[in-house]
Structure 1
Amino acid sequence: MIVLLTLAGGAGAAARYVLDGEVRARRPSQFPWGILLVNVLGSLLLGFLTGLVLTGADPRWALVLGTGFCGGFTTFSTAVTDTVRLARGGSVRLAAGNLLGNLAATVTAAAFGLGLAVLL
């Protein structure tokens, strides 16, 4: 189980790096769109996995994919660092948008994922 968690965490971190890089390359912006997307997708997946476990799925897969992959994939510490960077750079509105956007979008995505899994 520890090996699977480790591999899943590494895969999640690699996926975050690739996705964030692709978003930055395609949409150059001061706003960290890539990290926002990563956090929303990770929250959606984590909500979905939680819903699957609540409806009887094997919790070991949720542990590996939720804790391992999503733990490596999502990065709320980077979202906070980006928020501070924006604020210190004088972009207070973008900083507030990043902070509130991450909060609202990730909670909504997690709830949607949970609901989707329960409906299946």
Structure 2
Amino acid sequence: MRHHPGVTAPGTVEEYLTALPPEARAVLDRVRAAVLRGMPGATETIRYGMPAAMVGTRYGLHYAAWKRHAALYPVPVLDDGLEAEVAPLRSGKDAVHLRYGRPVPEDLVERIASAVAARRSEDR
């Protein structure tokens, strides 16, 4: 679903979302809204061919649509309580997968975004 030979990478988040199949678009719209609620004041851009919410000049979270799931990257290991909720959704070290056909855990995505934003601001 992502980059295919001869297909131009999206220049904006809107272009990225508009190009998605309806099911993926519906999920990613909800993921995007939750990320932005969790990162007040974040700006959006395209990085590595996928949407990213930026915290100041630093990246916060990327989110992308794949064939069977949406994903958030990079999601560091979080504090114990939050990590316990995130762990079943992890794929690899720093990705969180949200399968299509299941309810989008918007509150959890918002709390992940908030935790990542707090960590990014501490890193400065």
Length-normalised TM-score, structure 1: 0.29
**When you count strand as a share of all residues, which structure comes out higher?**
2
Counting helix residues as a fraction of each chain, which structure ranks higher?
A: 1
Larger radius of gyration: 1
TM-score, length of structure 2 as denominator length: 0.28
Structure having greater relative contact order (Cα 8 Å, sep ≥ 6):
1
